[in-house]
Amino acid sequence: MGMYQGQLLFPSLPARIPRLCIVQQLVCPKDKPFEHAKVAVYRDETLFAEVALTPEKNAWKSGSEEGYLRFTIPFIFENLEFSKKTRFRVRCIFDDGMIIPAPSLEVDVAPATGAA
């Protein structure tokens, strides 16, 4: 188990991991509510997983007094195989067509270290 920001490096490829969890948090201003959104994970350029998000209408008026609504969306993938450099990207697509990207995760081979 580990936490990765930007890169997951293996000694060599092909490689396999039993589980990978990507957690995406959305922080949305309450004065700009949306009806529907999709949070999508792409593996390279291919759609890998997608979740629809439809908050209840009263969610924008209730809750804490801060002016934001927070959503946490976990994606859990099992038995992933990597035979080449791979990049996971997360995108949030709102009902008005706005697309907001999130940081990506690159899976690759660790750089070779020099012999001492």
Highest mean pLDDT among 41-50, 55-64, 91-100: 41-50
- 8-109: CATH topology is Immunoglobulin-like (2.60.40)
Chain segment 87-106, per-residue pLDDT in tens: 999 999 998 899 999 989 99
For the whole model, what pTM was predicted? Answer: 0.84
Beta-bridge mates of residue 80: 17
Chain segment 64-79, per-residue pLDDT in tens: 667 888 899 999 999 9
Domain-by-domain residue ranges, the chain? 8-109
* 115 pLDDT higher than 60: no
Highest mean pLDDT among 30-39, 65-74, 107-116: 30-39
Which pLDDT band holds residue 52 (cuts at 50, 70, 90)?
very high
